[in-house]
Every structure is written in C-alpha cells, then in structure tokens.
C-alpha cells in the first residue's frame, strides 16, 4: 500500500530562477486542484510529476515507483496520463488514429485490445461518433477532448491535467468539468487551473502555489474559510484592502483586513485564494 | 496533508522486453500503414505496377533471357524508394512539426523506440516491392520463350533499394528534424539516380550506386556476366541496416545490441562495398572464360530435320524455334538448298562483358549460320536473312558480299513466309524503310540491298504474282547463280525489273 503520489523537497531551478522550491505534497484518489498565478511553478511541478523534466532536488514516487531511476521512470509512465498545457495534434490523423497512436506509445501492443480501449475512452469523452473524423476538422473543444482521451487511454492511475479548460467556451468548459469529475472517480487527478470555479466544482483538495512554493494545501472549504471575516462590502473601494472590485450591484467587494465596523460579506474560494497568495507575499490586485 | 493509501492499479503484463518489442512492432505497423497509404507512395506504386504491366507485356518480344530480366526489375523500385524516403522522413518529423513531442516524450516508448518503429515501418514497402519484383520476373519466366537463369541477388536489389532509401529518410528526418530536408534530398537523388544515365558498372566506385543495371543488346550466359551481384546485395542490405541503426542510435538508442548491430552492419556494408568494387574488374578466370565463349564456345548441340543446332546450354530450349525458321526458309527454297543440312551455331562476343555491342564476324564455312542470344522481334527476320543468304551464297561471308540479283532471292526466301512480309522487310533494314538502298541486318556482317533490288522485293512481297513459289523452285539454279542481274531475277519471278542496272556502289 503506497500513496498515489508522494513528493518531498522538490526543487528545480532554471539558471538563477527557482521554478520549484522545496515542494512537498501527497496526492490521493480524487481530483486535486492546483491554483496559482502565472509563473507560480504549476506547470513546472506538473512536468516534474509527469517525468517530462527531472527535479534538481528532492524526490517523489508515483504508485510506489521512483522516477529517479530509469526503470522507475518507465513504471511511472506506464501509470500516467498527461494532458499538457498546449497539447499538439497530428491534424491528418483521425481522432481514433491519434488516440491509438498514443496508446501504442503507452505499450498497448495488442491490436484488438488496444482498439477496444481507444473506442472506450473516445466514448467516455463523448467523441465516439466523430472518431473517424480528421483532427483538423474538429472544433477546439473536441480537440481538447481528444487530448483528454489520449491521457485516459490505458486507464492510468495518475492523471495530470495542465489547464485543460483554457480557451473553452462556458458550455464546453462545463462539459469538460463533467469529464474530469468522471475521470477522478477511482484515480488520482492533479488539475492545474486558473479557474477557481473549476476547483470549487471538481476538487476535494486544493493546492495553491506561489513563487515555486506551496502556500496552501487543504480542502476548498478550508481555503474558503481562510477568508472568513476578511471580506467586506463598501460603497467606495477601501484603500486598505488587499484587493477590491465593484460588483454587479454597484457596491465594492473588498478582501483583506477589514476596518472596524465594516459590513462583512460571505467569503468565496476565490477570496481565500487571493488571501493565500497575499499571505505568501505575492502581490494580488483586482 | 492527507495520506490515503491506494493499491497500485497497473495490471500484471507481459515481461518488459517482450512488451516493449511488441509495442515497437505495433508502432511499425501503424506507421507502415500510414506510409503505404500516403499519396507519394501510392502514386509511386501505381506508376510502378503500371510500368511493369506496360513493359512486361511484350518485353524481349516474348523471349526474355532471365539473367537480363532480373536486372530489368531494378530501376523502377528507385522511384518507389524515393517516395518511401519522403514518407518516412515526414513521419519522423511529424511530432516536431505538430508540437506533440513534449507530450510523447513522457509516454512509455522512448524516442529511440519510436525511431526503431519508424525504421521498421519501411519494411512492408520493401516487401511490397519484392512482390512486384517477383511478379515482374515471374511473368517473364513464365513466357514460353524464356531461357536462362535469374539471380536472387539481382532480384533483391529493388527491394533493398527501397529499404535503404526508407532508412535514409528516417535518418535524414531524425538528423534535421526539418520538413524540407527530405524533399530536397529526393530532388537531388532523382537527378542523380533516376533521371541520370546511371552508372555503367565498369568502375568499382560506380557500384556504390544502388542500381547498376548494365544491359546490352545481346545477353550473355549467366556465368559470363561477371557482376558482383551478391556483394552488391550485401552492400545494400548493410547500408540499409546501418542507416536504420544510425537513426536509432542518434535518437538515443545506444544499447549494446544497437551498437553491435551497427558495427556488424557497417562491416557488411564495407565488406560488400570493397568486394563489389573488386568484382567490377573481371578476374583472369572470367576473362579467359569470356574469351573461350567468344572464340571456341562450349555449345550443346541438337539435331532438327537434318540440320544441327548448337547453343549455349541456357539457350538449348530455343533450338527448336530456330529450326522452325530454318524449315520455313528451306521450304520455299529450291534445288539442293531445299534440304541442305545446315549448322546453326550460337555465337557471342563476350570479351568486353555485358552492355557492349560488339560485331561478330561472318562465318566462312559452308552451310554455317550464326544466331545470337537475343530472339523475337527483329531478330527473327535477321536470322532468316542469314539462313537465306547461306542457302543462296553458300556461306555467311559470301552472303554479306552479295550485290547482284541473288539478293532478291535471299530476301524472298527470308521474308515471303512471314506473317507480315512488308513489316518484316521494314524491320530488317537498318533505316526501317521499304524504298531505296539499305543495309540489311543479320546476326553477323550485314547484307546490302540496292534501290532496284528493294523495288523488286517490295513488288514481290506486296503483290506476289501467282506461282511465285513454283517459279523460285523451277528457276532456282539461275536465281542463285553468281552474277545474275536483278532484272533477270525480276523477269523470272514475274514482276517488273529495276530501271537501272545493278551497282554495288548504290
């Protein structure tokens, strides 16, 4: 019995820039959200966990396998599904061919078994009807689902999704959330996103990163709770607030340390996220 | 942080190496299917098959010599090879072009495994080429007039060329990772190997080219060809394997097996290259054998209808066909020529190897006729002209010096029984004309016709007067008498004579 992912002290530098600094985490089945501003190190962490780049420091295991060794790395890759931030496609391939190709690269060698698996994952992402269509003729949302199918093929125990909902319209994003929620049943999913709504709707856990470090690791409710008593409304933007913005009602919503007598407002996950970043020393503005 | 423990989900699978090897083969199948269905490869194969059908329907006029027919399978696969090169290179750079490399790099099969898959993906194209080669050669071999022996090494050149070009495409794709590199290379190779005249095979270096298909007008017996075909096949196979393994090594596959394979394949390439270069120069034994075959050949003889037919062993099945021509010529001859025993001897000049067109001197012995190693088409009236000349003049040498009216008799004997006498007259003359003076081809020294003789022969063949055959028999002595004029021959045969008197200067 081993945890799905267990990392301690992960570090990675690009020149003088510390992209990851002493990151430790343990991931369990279900969807874990990874929030953070641009440059926080989310994609770097995902690439390290996906064995795309090795960490300079620290160690981690996936399903008990150490990717620090060649054999271990291969074992991790056998159990990994990875959807990169900007997945590439072979436009002349059909959806089926592309996922089939990825399946072969995942060592699914038996043709009949592999094709059955490819049909299964394409049906799972609701692309069964267009599996024979060339990728260049698919919409952006469909392509993203092809990429998800490619990540899901082979039934990996650990799924790494790097901002999968970027660029999708609200309807497509909602559809994608359903798919991710389904994918998270029975396997461990690490979902990097800028969308706190994604985390609120999908994740049983959330990790917030800033400047290469983990500044929060807990449940969405715990992150939201961090903002309890630190969100208030006012008729003018409060200059003492960490962040503040005019809402649809015309009043200002402020986040930070409220002045005496301020009118408290119900905190959200996003408020908690902003405050977590602020607590980590990252400038937040809204 | 939570610490829920989970069971490892990966199922128990086949042993690691077995699983990886099967995945590489699956990838090779996937890429091979795409390669074979790619537009350039489909076009190349369609053109190749169309060329085979077009060429083989009436190649060698239905009388192929298989030690030449095998080399005829070598040139067109180069076109297929160039298409495979293009397709293989495009497949290799596909991930780089479309930005999937960063994704695929975290999948289980490593880049060099993928490269091995790409290298293996060209094998089915080579196998398909082998099927085409077998079809083309088998078609030739099944023709009723086929003689000789094909060489497996020569037949392997086409498929090995496709294999080598495909492996080159994989390597070029891997080294450059640029989409334009392979098309540029194809253009260069197209000019060098396909559209160029091709290497002659005379120098050792010329054998570095994939195809060295020297063929001359007169096929040689297979043991006199002197082509280092087996070494060339080894050289091509080694080169193909070296290129493929080099691509795998460049992609990171520097395992002991790959390195050992690379060393062995390079050794095979170098060995084949050196030995084929050495084989390009005829050995003393081969030179002596060629000399013997040219001057005192060891022939197999057979009797047909009183005449003797001597052929190189590989041509022995063809003596019956020659006898058929001799019988037809003698059937329209008169006097003693009607059943004079002849000796038909197959002769070649092999001293300069294949690909040369050396003249064979006429025989001076009475009743001896030369036949070459090629047959069908123009070779039939050429041979029948030689037979007729010997029947009329006594010997080949005497026949080549005919310049009187006997030439009309010769051409009547040679052509009157043919299915298309006028067509045969046209084809047997060097300038393909049926008017004026002309050289008449024969297996040895040519004969010549004056304008007047041509006119008379044409009249005889176009509208032979009734009873021409009987007149030939009746007046045989005069028709074959030295010094008989063309006018007198025309008169005897019942057609208008020439306006001018005979002149050997015509």
pLDDT in tens, B350-382: 888 887 777 889 999 999 999 999 999 899 999
Residues of A in contact with B107 (CB under 8 A): 77, 102, 105-106
Q: Is there a contact between B5 and A86 if contact means CB atoms under 8 Å apart?
A: no
Residue B375 and residue B71: Cα distance in Å, rounded? 18
Residue B156: partners with Cβ closer than 8 Å, 6 or more residues away: B130, B233, B236, B237
What is the radius of gyration, based on Cα positions, of chain B?
31
**DSSP string covering A101-140:** HHHHHTT---HHHHHHHHHHHHHHTT-GGGTTSBGGGS-H
Least CB–CB distance from A88: residue in B22, B99, B106: B99
Residue of A91, A101, A105 lying closest to B108 (CB–CB)? A105
Whole-prediction pTM value? 0.88
Task: Count Cβ atoms within 10 A of the Cβ of residue A85 and give its class: 0-12 exposed, 13-18 middle, 19 or more buried.
Answer: middle
State the pLDDT confidence band at B4, using cuts at 50, 70 and 90.
very low
Query: Are residues A2 and B5, on separate chains, in Cβ contact within 8 Å?
Result: yes
Give me the pLDDT at residue A286, please.
53
Nearest to B262 by CA among B133, B139, B116: B116
Chain A residues in contact with B23 (beta carbon < 8 A)? 104-105, 107-109
What's the N-to-C CA distance of chain A in angstroms? 45
> For position B442, what pLDDT does the model report?
92
A157 to B99: CB separation less than 8 angstroms, yes or no: no
Alpha-carbon distance A266 to A250, whole Å? 17
Q: Is A78 on the interface with B (CB under 8 A)?
A: yes
Residue A229 to residue B155: CA distance in whole angstroms: 87
Task: Verify whether the Cβ–Cβ distance A4 to B103 is below 8 Å.
Answer: no
Q: CB burial class (10 A; 0-12, 13-18, 19+) of residue B370?
A: buried
SS3 B345: strand
Decide if A5 contacts A61 (C-beta within 8 A).
Answer: yes
Listed residue (A78, A98, A112) closest to A148, CA to CA = A98
Distance from CA of A249 to the nearest CA of B (A): 39
Of B6, B29, B109, the CB nearest to A4: B6
Task: Give ∠ CA B21-B27-B31 in degrees, rounded to 5.
Answer: 145
For chain A, what is the total number of helices (H) and then of strands (E)?
A: 9, 14
Residue B99 structure tokens: 């930005």
Residue scoring higher pLDDT (B257 or B196) = B257
Based on its alpha-carbon atoms, the radius of gyration of chain A, rounded to whole angstroms, reads 21
Is the distance from CB of B87 to CB of B35 less than 8 angstroms?
A: yes
**pLDDT category of residue B201 using cuts at 50, 70 and 90:** low
Predicted confidence band of residue B9 (pLDDT cuts 50, 70, 90): very low
Residue numbers of B between 74 and 113 with CB closer than 8 Å to A: 94-95, 98-109
Q: Cα-flanking dihedrals φ and ψ of residue B175, to 5°? A: -70, -40
Task: With beta carbons less than 8 A apart as the criterion, state whether A216 and A184 touch.
Answer: no
Report the residue from B1, B3, B105 with minimal CB separation from A217: B1
B13 C-beta neighbours (distance < 10 Å), count: 12
Report the relative pairing of strands A80-83 and A158-162 from DSSP bridges.
Answer: parallel
From residue B210, how far is each of B192, B197, B234 by CA, in Å? Answer: 11, 13, 11
Average pLDDT over residues B264-278: 95
Question: Three-state DSSP class for A25?
Answer: strand
Distance, in angstroms, between B22 CA and closest chain A CA?
A: 6
- Does the CA dihedral A252-A257-A260-A265 come out positive or negative? positive
Chain B contact probe: residue of A50, A77, A109 with most B CBs at under 10 A: A109
Report residue B2's pLDDT band, with 50, 70 and 90 as the boundaries.
very low
**Strand (E) or helix (H) holding A59:** strand A57-62
Torsion angle of C-alpha atoms B354, B359, B365, B368, degrees rounded to 10: 60
* CB proximity under 8 Å: A 243-282 to B: none
Contact B115/A at CB under 8 A: no
Q: How many C-beta atoms lie closer than 10 Å to residue B43's C-beta? A: 13
Each of the 286 residues of chain A gets a pLDDT tens digit; together they read 467 999 999 999 998 889 999 999 999 999 999 999 988 999 999 999 999 999 999 999 999 999 999 899 999 999 999 999 889 999 999 999 999 999 999 999 999 999 999 999 999 999 999 999 999 999 988 999 999 999 999 999 999 999 998 878 888 888 889 989 999 988 999 999 988 999 999 999 999 999 999 999 999 999 999 999 999 998 888 888 888 888 888 889 999 888 888 888 999 999 999 999 988 877 665 5
The bridge status of strand B438-440 relative to strand A188-192 is unpaired
Residue A158: DSSP 8-state: E
Strand partners, A216: A208
Determine contact: B131 vs chain A, CB below 8 A: no
- DSSP for B340-370? ---EEEE----TT-TT-----PPP-STTEEE
Higher pLDDT pick, B213 / B223: B223
d(CA A202, CA A220): 10
- For residues A143, A147, A149, A152, the Cα torsion angle rounded to the nearest 10 degrees is -170
Q: What is the C-alpha separation between B70 and A224, in angstroms, rounded?
A: 81
Q: How many CB pairs under 8 A join A and B?
A: 113
Residue B357, CB half-sphere, CA atoms under 13 Å: how many? 4
Q: Minimum mean pLDDT among B66-70, B230-234, B335-339: which range? A: B335-339
Measure the CA–CA gap between B250 and B242, rounded to whole angstroms: 12
Taking the CA of residue A44 and the nearest CA in chain B, the distance in Å comes to 13
* Confidence bin at B498 (pLDDT 50/70/90): confident
Q: How far is B198 from chain A (nearest CA, A)?
A: 37
**B337: exposed, middle or buried (Cβ count in 10 Å: 0-12, 13-18, 19+):** buried
Which residue from A89, A102, A205 is facing B98, i.e. has the nearest CB? Answer: A89
Candidates A27, A64, A90, A104: best to mutate against B (most CBs of B within 10 A) is A104
Nearest to A101 among B19, B30, B101 (CB): B30
A102–chain B nearest CA distance, Å: 8
Tell me what ipTM this predicted complex has. 0.88
CA distance A187 to chain B (A): 9
């Amino acid at each position: 019995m081993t945890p799905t992912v267990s990392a301690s002290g992960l570090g990675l530098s690009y020149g003088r820039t510390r992209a990851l600094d002493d990151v430790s985490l343990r991931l369990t089945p279900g969807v874990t959200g990874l929030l953070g501003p641009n440059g926080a190190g989310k994609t770097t962490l995902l690439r390290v966990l996906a064995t795309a780049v090795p960490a300079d420091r620290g160690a981690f295991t996936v399903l008990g396998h150490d990717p620090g060794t060649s054999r271990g790395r291969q074992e991790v890759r056998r159990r990994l599904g990875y959807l990169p931030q900007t997945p590439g496609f072979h436009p002349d391939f059909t959806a089926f061919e592309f996922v089939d190709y990825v399946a072969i690269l995942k060592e699914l060698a038996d043709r009949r078994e592999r094709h059955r698996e490819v049909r299964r994952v394409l049906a799972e992402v609701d692309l069964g009807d267009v599996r024979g269509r060339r990728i260049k003729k698919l919409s952006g949302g469909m392509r993203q689902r092809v990429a998800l199918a490619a990540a899901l093929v082979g039934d990996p125990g650990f799924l790494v999704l790097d901002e999968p909902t970027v660029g999708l319209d609200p309807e497509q994003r909602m559809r994608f959330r359903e798919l991710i929620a389904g994918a998270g049943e029975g396997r461990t999913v690490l979902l990097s996103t800028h969308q706190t709504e994604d985390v609120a709707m999908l994740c049983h856990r959330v990790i917030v990163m800033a400047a290469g470090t983990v500044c929060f690791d807990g449940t969405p409710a715990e992150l939201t709770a961090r903002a309890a008593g630190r969100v208030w409304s006012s008729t003018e933007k409060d200059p003492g607030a960490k962040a503040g913005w005019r809402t649809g009602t015309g009043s200002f919503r402020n986040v930070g340390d409220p002045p005496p007598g301020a009118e408290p407002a119900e905190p959200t996950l996003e408020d908690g996220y902003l405050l977590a970043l602020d607590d980590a020393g990252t400038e937040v503005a809204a | 942080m939570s610490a829920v423990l989970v069971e490892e989900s990966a199922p128990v699978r086949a042993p690691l190496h077995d699983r990886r090897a099967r995945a590489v083969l699956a990838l090779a199948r996937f890429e091979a299917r795409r390669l074979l269905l790619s537009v350039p490869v489909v076009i190349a194969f369609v053109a190749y098959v169309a060329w085979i059908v077009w060429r083989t329907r009436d190649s060698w006029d239905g009388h192929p010599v298989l030690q030449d027919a095998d080399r005829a399978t070598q040139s067109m696969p180069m076109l297929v090879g160039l298409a495979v090169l293009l397709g293989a290179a495009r497949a290799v750079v596909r991930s780089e072009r479309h930005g999937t490399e960063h994704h695929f790099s975290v999948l289980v099969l490593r880049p060099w495994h993928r490269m091995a898959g790409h290298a293996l993906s060209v094998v089915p194209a080579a196998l398909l080429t082998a099927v085409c080669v077998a079809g083309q050669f088998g078609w030739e071999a099944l023709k009723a007039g086929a003689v000789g022996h094909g060489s497996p090494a020569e037949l392997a050149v086409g498929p090995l060329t496709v294999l080598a070009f495909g492996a080159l495409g994989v390597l070029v794709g891997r080294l450059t990772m640029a989409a334009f590199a392979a098309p540029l290379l194809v253009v260069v190779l197209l000019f060098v190997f396909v559209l160029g005249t091709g290497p002659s095979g005379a120098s050792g270096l010329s054998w570095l080219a994939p195809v060295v298909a020297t063929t001359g007008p007169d096929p040689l017996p297979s043991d006199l060809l002197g082509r280092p075909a087996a070494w060339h096949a080894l050289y091509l196979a080694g080169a193909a394997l070296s290129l493929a393994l080099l691509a795998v090594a460049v992609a990171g596959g520097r395992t002991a097996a790959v390195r050992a394979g690379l060393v062995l394949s390079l050794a095979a390439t170098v060995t084949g290259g050196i030995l084929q270069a050495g084989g390009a120069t005829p050995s003393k034994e081969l030179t002596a054998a060629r000399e013997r075959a040219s001057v005192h050949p060891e022939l197999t003889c057979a009797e047909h209808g009183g005449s003797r037919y001597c052929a190189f062993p590989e041509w022995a099945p063809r003596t019956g066909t020659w006898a058929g021509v001799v019988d037809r010529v003698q059937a329209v001859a008169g006097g003693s020529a009607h059943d004079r025993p002849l000796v038909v001897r197959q002769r070649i000049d092999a001293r300069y190897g294949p690909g040369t067109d050396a003249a064979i001197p006429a025989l001076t012995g009475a009743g001896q006729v030369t036949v070459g190693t090629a047959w069908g088409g123009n070779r039939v009236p050429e041979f029948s002209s030689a037979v007729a000349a010997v029947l009329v003049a006594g010997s080949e040498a005497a026949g080549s010096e005919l310049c009187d009216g006997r030439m009309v008799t010769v051409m009547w004997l040679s052509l009157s029984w043919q299915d298309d006498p006028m067509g045969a007259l046209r084809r047997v003359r060097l300038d393909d004309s049926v008017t004026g003076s002309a050289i008449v081809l024969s297996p040895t020294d040519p004969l010549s016709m004056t304008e007047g003789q041509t006119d008379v022969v044409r009249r005889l063949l176009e509208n032979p007067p009734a009873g021409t055959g009987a007149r030939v028999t009746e007046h045989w002595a005069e028709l074959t008498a030295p010094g008989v004029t063309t006018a007198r021959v025309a008169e005897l045969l019942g057609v208008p004579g020439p306006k001018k008197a005979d002149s050997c200067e015509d």
